Structure 1
């Protein structure tokens, strides 16, 4: 196996502006809604976004345009096929890190060391402060003198906002297609029969290994968790929250105990996942009664805690909308989960590549912390 780790660290990132650029939402008026007033259109179609008073405020603020012209009269009559654009005002997104470390890079892909707290893709309150934005800014900065329209690298999988470690990004269309297929293939295999999985176990193109610190003492040295993961309704999460569910989709995690700390009542574990369900490791570890240390969302059984209604987005309320949770999925930050090692077949050369992200001291074994073991010394649990 060839180990293509960088010998010199490269760190990049631009500090976040105070405010983002806001958001623009477009609509085309259907002919069935022609003759409606502007306020009627928005207060009926988007009543879950803001009360009628909120939409009046937005219209009078000049935040809505009709066919490219700002309209402040809420009683303006609409015509079919008119284009409406609502501009949500810029807001200050929550404070998050902005620096990213490059662990590996070639012409096809780049592996980043994502810090805990930074979201990968835009969503919710985080529309600008994301990994994707920094990748875009980095390319623009490099090519500013050339006025280049070169595309930027894009993530081919996700890490939870609170999860740190290796994030793989593609730099070409071919690499994006093949790397995305690697991740999808691993997830699809989990639904196969045990015999079929055994027959195909040697053809996996990618393996993902994590370090985690969990509450309590795991008795067994190795645990295989195959609890399905499904979705339930949850305040502030439009598409629902992922939880342990018998009717969910198949998921498989292999857990290996690295060290037990009786004094602190916690266990350091290594987890290899063969599927990639959202929040899979958090859900699986909590399902067996050992939630991640510091995770205030998932509790024993793989279910969420009660929602805290005091966590609301004041900027959205000031914009005329209903208050929304500032942290729709509590516990996205503050727990100990690290994407530690990625072993994959290169998307164009098929060479086996091993990438390792540095470990914080709290996620190291005693031997590693004392320097008697290297960062690659603990292998995946197979």
Structure 2
């Protein structure tokens, strides 16, 4: 069942999302921003950004649709849990596991496994991704943070939005570099000629990736990437854009590549502030065996 609210600004000042959060305390800032993006919040019958500065006399209509029921089954799937407390879970996702259910992947996802592990997962508006605040691709391995309650979800998403986390990836890419490090600042959006792909496009969303060359081999390099933003397929798109696609990437890389189970991309380091205490937490996990064995073969060539 949906709820609707009508607010009239009198002497309140500040951002639209902040003012609504103060007036409707049951809604988190994260949920409010989602409602703004989906045009469920209108100011004077018009869509405004979350950063819009309210003015006296503004009429704000807030429509809160009911959350879709969760129809995702818990499955007894082993999880590599690196850390867990009352607010968050940090999990090392294996290569080949999808993060949440979708039309093509209704089960055997990380969410299915998490639901079996705990009943404490922050609800999501869509219903099918409780606890999920960020994703990595099916064939990318490594660290993810999971929110166990609404407060934790809002904190972790705010940290992502304000670039307060630490996210370091390792990747084996095609080709060698003349430089030891670089920055890719190129907007990413849907590829207009292939809807299955993302691409660097003029009207895309801002995307920034920093990379550092760790080792170079014959025809390949091992790099470390640090994300400023978290766009879909960001590292894969950016590295292909500069002529160094991730090895094993079936979507953005060449067919002649390293043998494996998909792209050689691993989320190695994850750092964030604990949602309640504010304590800085940082975790690191080794690359999967197939990644390590591939590095050994490249070093011995």
Q: Normalising by structure 1, what TM-score?
A: 0.51
Question: Does the 8 Å CA contact 2:209/2:238 hold for their aligned counterparts?
Answer: yes
2:285 matches 1:357 = yes
The aligned runs of 1:1-382 (5 Å cut-off) are 98-139=77-118, 150-152=119-121, 154-186=131-163, 205-233=164-192, 241-262=197-218, 265-299=219-253, 334-360=262-288
Post-superposition CA distance 1:145-168 (Å, at most 9, x none): xxxxx4336121111111100011
Measure, in 1, the Cα distance between the counterparts of 2:275 and 2:160: 12
Measure, in 2, the Cα distance between the counterparts of 1:127 and 1:168: 21
Structure 2 residues not aligned, in runs of 5+? 1-75, 123-130, 297-301
Question: Does the 8 Å CA contact 1:256/1:269 hold for their aligned counterparts?
Answer: yes
Question: Does the 8 Å CA contact 2:186/2:200 hold for their aligned counterparts?
Answer: yes
Q: Name the structure 2 match of 1:7.
A: none
Question: Does the 8 Å CA contact 2:143/2:268 hold for their aligned counterparts?
Answer: yes
Post-superposition CA distance 1:64-105 (Å, at most 9, x none): xxxxxxxxxxxxxxxxxxxxxxxxxxxxxxxxx943200111
Question: Does the 8 Å CA contact 1:259/1:365 hold for their aligned counterparts?
Answer: no
Question: Does the 8 Å CA contact 2:87/2:149 hold for their aligned counterparts?
Answer: yes
Measure, in 1, the Cα distance between the counterparts of 2:77 and 2:223: 28
Larger radius of gyration: 1
Q: Report the Cα offset of residue 361 of structure 1.
A: 5.4
Post-superposition CA distance 1:208-237 (Å, at most 9, x none): 1000000111221001000110113567x5
Question: Does the 8 Å CA contact 1:113/1:166 hold for their aligned counterparts?
Answer: yes
Q: Report the Cα offset of residue 364 of structure 1.
A: 5.8
Measure, in 1, the Cα distance between the counterparts of 2:240 and 2:151: 37
Measure, in 1, the Cα distance between the counterparts of 2:156 and 2:193: 32
Query: Post-superposition, which runs of at least 4 consecutive aligned residues in structure 1 deviate over 3 A?
Result: 150-153, 360-366
Q: Secondary structure, in 3 states, of the residue corresponding to 2:162?
A: helix
Post-superposition CA distance 1:236-273 (Å, at most 9, x none): x5xx53211122111000000000012xx110000000
Q: Report the Cα offset of residue 185 of structure 1.
A: 2.1
Question: Does the 8 Å CA contact 1:226/1:253 hold for their aligned counterparts?
Answer: yes
Measure, in 2, the Cα distance between the counterparts of 1:360 and 1:118: 13
Post-superposition CA distance 1:96-136 (Å, at most 9, x none): x9432001111110100001111111113101121111111
Tell me the C-alpha RMSD between the 2 structures.
Answer: 2.7
Measure, in 2, the Cα distance between the counterparts of 1:116 and 1:248: 28
Q: Normalising by structure 2, what TM-score?
A: 0.64
Question: Does the 8 Å CA contact 1:161/1:333 hold for their aligned counterparts?
Answer: no
Q: Report the Cα offset of residue 346 of structure 1.
A: 1.3
Question: Does the 8 Å CA contact 1:212/1:363 hold for their aligned counterparts?
Answer: no
Measure, in 2, the Cα distance between the counterparts of 1:225 and 1:284: 7
> Aligned in 2, Cα 1:133/1:365: closer, same or farther, shift over 3 Å?
closer
Measure, in 2, the Cα distance between the counterparts of 1:292 and 1:273: 15
